[in-house]
């Protein structure tokens, strides 16, 4: 970015950040997530790092947190209470490591990795083994004397077995359980609820009446001890534990290299939900205190430690373009091409926009800054447009009237609906997408035959349509680039294996509009033969449980189309369909399950199969008809919906017990 552009962006970012700051801290209501808010601040910081001459004293990056309140006595810290620079990805972390290694060549870089508690920093000073005073961080140099309040906190020892003067630094937090209980109480009293446990901890410590704080049950975790000399940071933690302070315990680790830090970070990020209080990342420091000293301080942050935050689940970025994809059913889908960002630990560069109405609803233009998240923690989606950051160069998007691939006119389908379709059955884009679907894992599951290889086969004219695949011989494939005799042989083997297929997979593989995996299973189990499905009339299809009018019509029409009839005829020359036996009834008969989040002991497909074996059904959407929601790690929006509808939610352990 050139300086003029950076300047314009910086000014707009500052204004927007300030608006959100006011919403958050003054009005106590933030309309975007904290992660998205942080990502805006992060972008501003990066731009200011790149163009330091553009930094002004009123920038949000220069803000000094928490001026001491008048009511409390002020205390000057013996050493400034510093803050930490944030990084969000392995890349940014590595850049930090490279930077400090350059500053101290040849030094032994061992790291200490600990939890970053999301609370309020406190400094506790002990003399002669007794707690003398406790102070908040304040502006880093001068804090507030909150000794009276801190004395009510049970996890703060009032006396310790160390006679020398020591200063213990750590974080005051409120556990999730206490936070919920306090908010419940607030609600009952008709009082405002707290936005998060950090605000509550901070608010509680600033209460002038120590009785209030005692009722809030604050916790304290220690992370630093100043005074006596220690060689390593890890020894400080050992000593703190010995003196009776709570520390991160089993969640802390000495790491020999970056890989070990990354592994630890991943492990904690994945088990984060199980930790009973809020953490927002790891603090990673060089373990050697000598090295830490030598690396020094820049501004208010030490070079030798860094906050390695968890990947934001939401982030801001820019929509660089909107393209239109043609799917296997002919559906035209607008897709946002994003400036790549890290969300939830992966780089995201595209987000589906579903349809034109969604673009209107968002008010999105090409070139807009947006907030992107991952729906259910998986699929990238645009949550919000930030019109405040517009430059004037943004462009409106219009859905094309002709198919962007075959050029034939497109049509709006489903009365009053929003779907736009290319109806040309021979549209090359539709046909290719349909072929990808046919060979995919949940359909014919032809191992080794993904979109790339299918493209190569099509481009070389080896095949024109799906049935041609079943005629391929090793000698046809082997000459292709990146193939050899062995891999050609393997591919032919997996094509042959796919010739035997269950009825449900066969139906799903046909790629009929609205027929997903679950519907295909329902159809297969209901009819138990392809001929019966082919000949079923509309009313009959419409009467099958779980099948509605739209699906029934789609099915009925599909099997009446000459082109499709021909396809089935050709396929049956190669393929042998296994019809399902009548489903045994079991303890789940009549029960519908929805799975969300990652299971540890099995894949989702395995879990679904087990539910079916026991007579149950599984579905992708939570509704009144759902009997159980099984929630694994990092559950998505289905979890919240289940809570709202009062559907029974169970964790993996409970589920395993049930399917035993």
By annotation, the residues acting in catalysis are 116
Asked whether residue 255 is marked as a ligand-binding residue, the answer is no
Q: Dmax of the chain from CA atoms?
A: 93
Q: Is 309 labeled as ligand-binding?
A: yes
Instruction: Please identify, using beta-carbon distances, which residue of 279 and 364 lies nearer to ligand IVH.
Output: 279
Q: Give the nearer residue to ligand IVH in terms of CB position, either 121 or 504.
A: 121
Is position 53 annotated in a ligand binding site? no
Exactly one of 146, 160, 201, 305 binds ligand IVH (CB under 6 A); which one? 305
Cβ proximity to ligand IVH: between 14 and 137 the closer is 137
Q: Encoding tokens for residue 5?
A: 């552009």
What's the CA gap between 391 and 85, in Å, rounded?
30
Q: Give the binding range for ligand IVH (CB under 6 A) out of 111-119, 340-348, 401-409, 437-445.
A: 111-119
**Other CB atoms closer than 10 Å to residue 421's CB: what's the count?**
20
Residues whose CB is less than 8 angstroms from the CB of residue 168 and which lie 6 or more positions away in sequence, other chains included: 123, 124, 126, 222, 224, 225, 226, 240, 243, 245
The reply, when asked if residue 259 is annotated as ligand binding, is no
The kind and range of the H/E element at 190 are: none
Q: Which is nearer to ligand IVH, 220 or 559 (CB)?
A: 220
Give the residue carrying structure tokens 């890890």: 234
CA angle 327, 605, 507 (to 5 degrees): 45
- Considering the complex, state which of residue 66 and residue 129 has its C-beta at the smaller distance from ligand IVH: 66
- Spell out the residues 6+ positions from residue 223 whose beta carbon is closer than 8 angstroms to its own: 114, 117, 169, 170, 171, 237, 240, 247, 248, 283
User: Does 307 sit near ligand IVH (CB under 6 A)?
Assistant: yes
Contact between 41 and ligand IVH per CB under 6 A? no
Residue 186 as a binder of ligand IVH (CB under 6 A): the answer is no
Taking the C-alpha atoms of residue 625 and residue 630, their distance in angstroms, rounded to an integer, is: 15
Output the DSSP codes for 309-370: EPPPSEEEEEEEEEEEEE-TTSBEEEEEEEEEEEETTEEEEEEE--SHHHHHHHT--BT-EE
SS3 of 388, please? Answer: helix
Stretch that binds ligand IVH, among 110-118, 334-342, 523-531, 581-589 (CB under 6 A): 110-118
Q: List the Cα angle 602/606/607 in 5-degree steps.
A: 80
Taking the complex as a whole, the smallest distance from the CB of residue 129 to ligand IVH amounts, in Å, to 24
Least Å distance, CB 96 to ligand IVH, is 14
422 is in an annotated binding site: yes
- Nearer to ligand IVH by C-beta: 35 or 521? 35
Of the listed pieces 300-308, 411-419, 457-465, 572-580, which binds ligand IVH according to CB under 6 A?
Answer: 300-308
Looking at the Cβ atoms of 35 and 435, the one nearer to ligand IVH is 35
Instruction: Tell me if 84 contacts ligand IVH by CB under 6 A.
Output: yes
Per the DSSP assignment, residues forming a β-bridge with 316 are 371
117 near ligand IVH (CB under 6 A): yes
Element (H, E) at 416: none
Residue among 557, 554, 322, 620 at smallest CA distance from 417 = 554
Nearer to ligand IVH, 223 or 593 (CB): 223
Q: Which stretch binds ligand IVH (CB under 6 A): 6-14, 77-85, 102-110, 493-501?
A: 77-85
Six-digit token string for 138: 């304040």
Q: Is 171 annotated as a binding residue?
A: yes
- For residue 137, say whether it is annotated as part of any ligand binding site: yes
Cβ-Cβ contacts under 8 Å for 429 (sequence gap 6 or more): 325, 326, 403, 404, 405, 406, 422
Strands 130-136 and 120-127: antiparallel
Binding mask of the shown chain, residues 131 to 150, with x at each position contacting ligand IVH by CB under 6 A: ------x-------------
Which residue from 43, 48, 114, 394 is in contact with ligand IVH, where contact means CB under 6 A?
Answer: 114
Q: Whole-number minimum distance, CB 123 to ligand IVH, in Å?
A: 10
Residue with tokens 């968890």: 310
User: Contacting ligand IVH (CB under 6 A), which of 13, 283, 513, 571?
Assistant: 283
Nearest distance in Å: CB 203, ligand IVH: 16
**Is 121 a binder of ligand IVH (CB under 6 A)?**
yes
> For residue 38, which of 102, 84, 88, 1 has the smallest C-alpha distance?
88
Is 83 a binding residue for ligand IVH by CB under 6 A? The answer is yes
Distance CA 89, CA 64 (A): 26
- Given the rule CB under 6 A, which of 82-90, 484-492, 546-554, 649-657 is the region that contacts ligand IVH? 82-90
**Is 630 among the residues that bind ligand IVH (CB under 6 A)?**
no
Q: Give the ranges where 404-450 is alpha helix by DSSP (H).
A: 428-439
Residue among 272 and 432 whose Cβ is closer to ligand IVH: 272
State which of residues 41, 42, 116, 638 lies at the interface with ligand IVH (CB under 6 A). 116
Query: At which residue do the structure tokens 């501004």 appear?
Result: 299
When CB distances to ligand IVH are compared, the closest residue is: 121
Interacting positions 219-238 with ligand IVH (CB under 6 A): 223-224
Q: Interface with ligand IVH by CB under 6 A: which range of 91-99, 204-212, 301-309, 651-659?
A: 301-309
Please provide the distance, in angstroms rounded to a whole number, between the alpha carbons at the two ends of the chain.
59
Residue 284 CB, shortest distance to ligand IVH, in Å, is 9
Q: How far is the CB of 462 from ligand IVH (least distance, A)?
A: 59
471 is in an annotated binding site: no
Q: How many residues does the chain have?
A: 660
> Where do the DSSP E strands lie in 227-298?
253-255, 279-286, 297-298
202 binds ligand IVH (CB under 6 A): no
Using CB under 6 A, count the residues that bind ligand IVH: 16
Distance in Å, CB of 502 to ligand IVH, minimum: 53
Nearest approach, Cβ of residue 233 and ligand IVH (Å) = 9
Nearer to ligand IVH, 84 or 291 (CB): 84
CB-based contacts of 515, cutoff 8 Å, min separation 6: 507, 508, 523, 551, 554, 555
Residue 558 structure tokens: 């599909």
Numbered residues of the known binding site for NAD(+): 83-84, 114, 137, 171, 309
Numbered residues of the known binding site for Zn(2+): 403, 406, 422, 427
Numbered residues of the known binding site: 83-84, 114, 137, 171, 309, 403, 406, 422, 427
Return residues touching ligand IVH (CB under 6 A): 82-84, 114-117, 121, 137, 171, 223-224, 283, 302, 305, 307
């Amino acid at each position: 970015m050139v300086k003029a552009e950076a300047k314009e962006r910086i000014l707009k970012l500052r204004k927007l950040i300030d608006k959100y700051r006011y919403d958050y801290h003054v009005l106590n209501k933030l309309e975007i997530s904290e992660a998205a808010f942080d990502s805006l601040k992060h972008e501003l910081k990066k731009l200011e790092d790149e163009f330091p001459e553009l930094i002004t004293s009123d920038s949000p990056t220069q803000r000094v947190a928490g001026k001491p309140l008048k009511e409390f006595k002020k205390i000057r810290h013996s050493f400034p209470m510093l803050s930490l620079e944030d990084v969000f990805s392995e890349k940014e972390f590595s850049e930090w490591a490279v930077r400090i290694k350059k500053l101290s060549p040849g030094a032994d870089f061992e790291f200490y990795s600990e939890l970053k508690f999301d609370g309020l920093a406190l400094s506790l000073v002990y003399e002669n083994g007794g707690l003398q005073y406790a102070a908040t961080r304040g502006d880093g140099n001068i804090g507030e004397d909150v000794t009276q309040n801190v004395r009510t906190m049970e996890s703060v020892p009032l006396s310790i077995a160390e006679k020398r003067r020591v200063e213990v630094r750590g974080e005051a937090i409120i556990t999730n359980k206490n936070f919920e209980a306090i908010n419940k109480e607030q609600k009952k009293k008709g009082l405002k609820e707290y936005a998060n446990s950090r605000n509550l901890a901070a608010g509680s410590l600033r209460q002038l009446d120590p009785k209030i704080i005692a009722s809030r049950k604050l916790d304290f975790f220690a992370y630093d001890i100043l005074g006596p000399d220690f060689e390593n940071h890890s020894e400080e933690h050992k000593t703190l534990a010995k003196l009776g302070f709570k520390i991160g315990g089993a969640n802390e680790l000495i790491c020999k290299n970056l890989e070990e830090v990354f592994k630890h970070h991943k492990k904690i990020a994945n088990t984060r939900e199980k930790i009973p209080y809020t953490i927002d990342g790891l603090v990673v420091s060089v373990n050697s205190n000598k090295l830490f000293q030598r690396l020094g301080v820049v501004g208010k942050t030490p070079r030798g430690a860094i906050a390695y935050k968890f990947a934001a689940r939401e982030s801001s970025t820019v929509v660089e373009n909107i393209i239109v994809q043609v799917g296997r059913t002919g559906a035209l889908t607008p897709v946002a091409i994003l400036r790549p960002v890290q969300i939830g630990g992966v780089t995201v560069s595209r987000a589906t926009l579903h349809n034109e109405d969604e673009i209107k609803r968002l008010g999105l233009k090409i070139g807009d800054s947006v907030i992107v998240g991952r729906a259910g923690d998986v699929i990238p989606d645009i949550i919000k447009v930030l019109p405040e950051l517009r430059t004037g160069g943004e462009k409106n998007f219009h859905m094309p009237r002709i198919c962007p691939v075959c050029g034939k006119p497109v049509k709006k389908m489903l009365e009053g609906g929003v779907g736009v379709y290319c109806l040309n059955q021979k549209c090359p884009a539709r046909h290719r997408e349909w072929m990808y679907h046919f060979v995919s894992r949940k359909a014919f599951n032809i191992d080794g035959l993904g979109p790339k290889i299918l493209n190569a086969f099509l481009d070389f004219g080896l095949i024109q349509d799906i049935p041609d695949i079943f005629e391929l011989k090793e000698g046809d494939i082997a000459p292709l680039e990146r193939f050899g005799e062995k891999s050609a042989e393997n591919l032919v083997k997996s094509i042959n294996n796919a010739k035997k297929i269950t009825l449900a997979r066969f139906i799903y593989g046909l790629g009929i509009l609205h027929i997903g995996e679950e519907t295909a299973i329902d159809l297969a189990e209901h009819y138990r033969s392809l001929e019966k499905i082919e000949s079923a009339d509309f009313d009959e299809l419409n009467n099958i449980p779980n099948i509605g009018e739209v699906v029934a019509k789609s099915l009925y029409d599909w099997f009446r189309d000459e082109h499709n009839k021909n396809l089935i005829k050709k396929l049956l020359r190669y393929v042998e369909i296994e019809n399902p036996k009548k489903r045994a009834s079991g303890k789940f008969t009549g029960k519908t399950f929805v799975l969300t989040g990652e299971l540890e002991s099995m894949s989702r497909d395995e879990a679904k199969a087990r539910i079916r074996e026991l007579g149950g059904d599984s579905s992708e959407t939570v509704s009144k008809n759902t009997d159980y929601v099984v929630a694994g790690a990092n559950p998505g929006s289905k979890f919240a919906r289940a809570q709202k509808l009062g559907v029974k939610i169970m964790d993996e352990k409970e589920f395993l017990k049930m399917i035993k």
